Every structure is written in structure tokens, then in C-alpha cells.
Amino acid sequence: MNDESKQDPNAATPPATTPEAPSQQEMAIRSALETVMDPEINLSVIDLGLIREVAVGAGATHVKMMLTTPFCPYAPQMIADVKQAAESVVPQPTEVEILPDPWSPELMPDPGLLGYSF
């Protein structure tokens, strides 16, 4: 008996998961967010890898971001800057959700921007 005959014909095959390509609006928002700087580190929220998700829905944009430290004193200003940058590209209300996850330089697209190696 070969392996093919042992397979259950009623078994469901798992759906192929392919990451969805970002929309033009999401890419435009990410581009605008490159101007939002962390005032203490002097790198953009994109360069730091703080922006984890951008979702443009009907009537609202939702941005999930992290902070470099849990009690970042610049959080209110950075949230306001992220909202302003997103709304300048997609003119609809923007909600910014701060994720509780800890940030680390490994989340950066280019950790070398910090000026030291790991």
C-alpha cells in the first residue's frame, strides 16, 4: 500500500496563507510617518520599527505602534504627530494604539542606524 492511499480524502487542506500586499494608502501613510521623529533618539518611528501595523478602513485609520520605553515621556507628542502625519495623507480620523510589547533594536529595519553594533 502506498502513502497516497493512506491519505484521508475528507481531510481539509489548510488554506495557503500569503501576506496581503499593503494598499497605496497604507504605503503613503508609512511614507508620511518617516517624518515623525523620536525626539530622544532622533530617528523616525519607521526607522526605529515602532510602527507595527497600519490599517485603513472605511471612515478610520488604525495605527498600532510601540514605544522605545514603557513610560516614554514623549508618548503624547509622538501619538499626536503620528495622527497628524496619517491624517495629512488619508483625510479621515486616525486611532493610535500603543502596544504593550517591549521594543528592542532587533525590530528596526536597520539596527545600525543607532550607531553601535550588537
Radius of gyration of the chain measured on its C-alpha atoms = 20
Total domains in the fold of the chain: 1
Indicate whether 81 belongs to any domain: yes
Q: What was the pLDDT predicted at 111?
A: 80
Q: What is the pLDDT of residue 114?
A: 79
In this prediction, residue 109 carries a pLDDT of: 87
In the predicted model, is pLDDT for residue 25 greater than 80?
Answer: yes
Q: Which pTM value belongs to this model?
A: 0.77
User: Is residue 113 assigned to a domain?
Assistant: no
For residue 50, pLDDT over 70 is answered with yes
Q: 47: Cβ–Cβ under 8 A, 6 or more apart, which residues? A: 34, 108, 109, 110, 113
pLDDT at position 6 is 53
CATH number at residue 95: 3.30.300.130
Is 100 inside a domain boundary? Answer: yes
Q: Tell me whether residue 13 is in a domain.
A: no
**Contact yes or no for 23/58 (Cβ under 8 A):** no
Residue 41: other Cβ atoms inside 10 A: 13
8 A C-beta contact, residue 82 and residue 96:
yes
Summarize pLDDT for 8-23 with one digit per residue, the tens.
Answer: 555 555 455 555 777 8
In a domain, residue 2? The reply is no
Per-residue confidence (pLDDT) for residue 83, from 0 to 100: 98
Q: 37: domain range?
A: 22-105
